[in-house]
Amino acid sequence: MDRFQHYIDGRFEDAAQGFDSIDPATGTPWARMPAASAEDVGRAVVAADRAFGTWAATTATARGKLLYRLADLVQEAAPRLAALETRDTGKIIRETSAQIAYVAEYYRYYAGLADKIEGAHLPIDKPDMEVWLRREPVGVVAAIVPWNSQLFLSAVKLGPALAAGCTVVLKASEDGPAPLLEFARLVDQAGFPAGVVNILTGGPEAGVALTTHPKVAHIAFTGGPETARHIVRASAENLAKTSLELGGKSPFIVFDDADLDSAANAQVAGIFAATGQSCVAGSRLLVQRSVKDAFLARLKAKAEAVAIGAPDAMETEVGPLCTARQRDRLHGLVTETLAAGAKLVTGGQMPQGAGFYYPPTILDCSDVPDAPSVRQELFGPVLSVVTFDTEAEALQLANDTAYGLASGVFTRSLTRAHRMIRGIRAGIVWVNTYRAVSPIAPFGGHGLSGHGREGGLAAALDYTTVKTVWLRTSDDPIPDPFVMR
Residues with catalytic roles: 245
Q: How far is CA 395 from the centre of its chain?
A: 26
Count of beta carbons in the 10 Å neighbourhood of residue 474:
10
- Dist. CA 485–CA 481, nearest whole Å: 10
What strand order describes the sheet that includes 382-388? 343-346, 361-364, 382-388, 284-288, 251-254, 408-410, 430-431
- Dist. CA 209–CA 375, nearest whole Å: 33
Secondary structure letter of residue 318 according to DSSP: B
> What is the DSSP track for 198-258?
EEEE-SHHHHHHHHH-TTEEEEEEES-HHHHHHHHHHTTTTT-EEEEE-----EEEE-TTS
- Dist. CA 47–CA 161, nearest whole Å: 16
- Dist. CA 148–CA 146, nearest whole Å: 6
* Contact yes or no for 458/441 (Cβ under 8 A): no
Count of beta carbons in the 10 Å neighbourhood of residue 277:
23
- Dist. CA 114–CA 192, nearest whole Å: 15
Q: Which of 273, 136, 142 is nearest to 213 (CA)?
A: 142
* Contact yes or no for 98/273 (Cβ under 8 A): no
* Contact yes or no for 242/221 (Cβ under 8 A): yes
Secondary structure letter of residue 443 according to DSSP: B
- Sequence-distant (≥ 6) Cβ neighbours of residue 50 within 8 angstroms: 195
In sequence order, the β-bridge partners of residue 121 are 132
* Contact yes or no for 181/172 (Cβ under 8 A): yes
- Dist. CA 426–CA 423, nearest whole Å: 9
